[in-house]
Structure 1
């Protein structure tokens, strides 16, 4: 699937993931700093991936690990620092939670920041582990 807004694109096409860019973005985080590109490649293979582009430059990444029925683990949401605070994170999450393989599942994520963003999408919990309400499926 693809979503477009102005000069931006979000895609779930794994062949478009720029592994080096994702590894660099994650290296700057508190949770993904020690993941070599080989590990990034394996996690991409086992996940539904969302890549955010400005033109042809990848500026964001996130992924979901799911059984596509009841449960989804949202992980590794990261956007280039220069693009933060522009609404792209909200749009990114809108696209992720509406993906047909994820929609309607209980979603969990672990984070120490951006709780305000995630709460807009039904996530709640303590500062480390947040989850969405279970829906009837």
Structure 2
């Protein structure tokens, strides 16, 4: 996908606007109430992608990865007023082609409402969901 002229995609946790990210993610269905310090640590320890319009961060995604076999895609969002411009596809194109993410055996994500986007990039429902387990602590933030 061609990058819209007024937007710039960047990669690197040090380039992200942690205030914008925390504001959005702390109100999300997947991490409501996440403390700022926890979100900052998550950003610092991940491979991060952001889309900016001028100096304003308008989209974000992060991958938790060992860089060799596995990655988990998390905290993907585009601010409401910038949706419909292909920014999620722009980020996904960059993520899927990023050199540090080549050759991974598995990349996972969880979504409630964006299945259509991720299907376009080869994601599918779990083949054997009964083989996956989780330690779920939904009230860890408060």
Give the TM-score category using the shorter length: 0.7 to 0.9
Match of 2:17 in 1: 18
Structure 2 stretches lacking a partner, 5+ long = 130-142
When the two structures are superposed, what TM-score results if normalisation uses the length of structure 2?
0.81
Q: Take 2:86 and 2:3, find their aligned partners in 1: how far apart are those partners?
A: 14
Unaligned runs of 5+ residues in structure 1 are 130-137
Secondary structure class of the residue paired with 2:101 = coil
Note the 1:52-63 alignment, pairs <5 A: 52-63=51-62
Alignment of 1:123 with 2:123, yes or no, is yes
Which protein is bigger by CA-based radius of gyration? 2
Tell me whether 56-65 or 25-34 shows the greater mean CA deviation: 25-34
Runs ≥4 residues deviating over 2 A: none
* TM-score normalised by structure 1 residue count: 0.84
Aligned length: 125
Are the equivalent residues in 1 in contact too, given 2:18–2:40 (CA < 8 A)? yes
Q: CA contact under 8 A between 2:61 and 2:74: conserved in structure 1?
A: yes
Cα root mean square deviation, aligned: 1.7
Structure of greater relative contact order (alpha carbons < 8 Å, 6+ residues apart) = 2
Residues in 1 aligned to 2:110 and 2:61: alpha-carbon distance in whole angstroms: 13
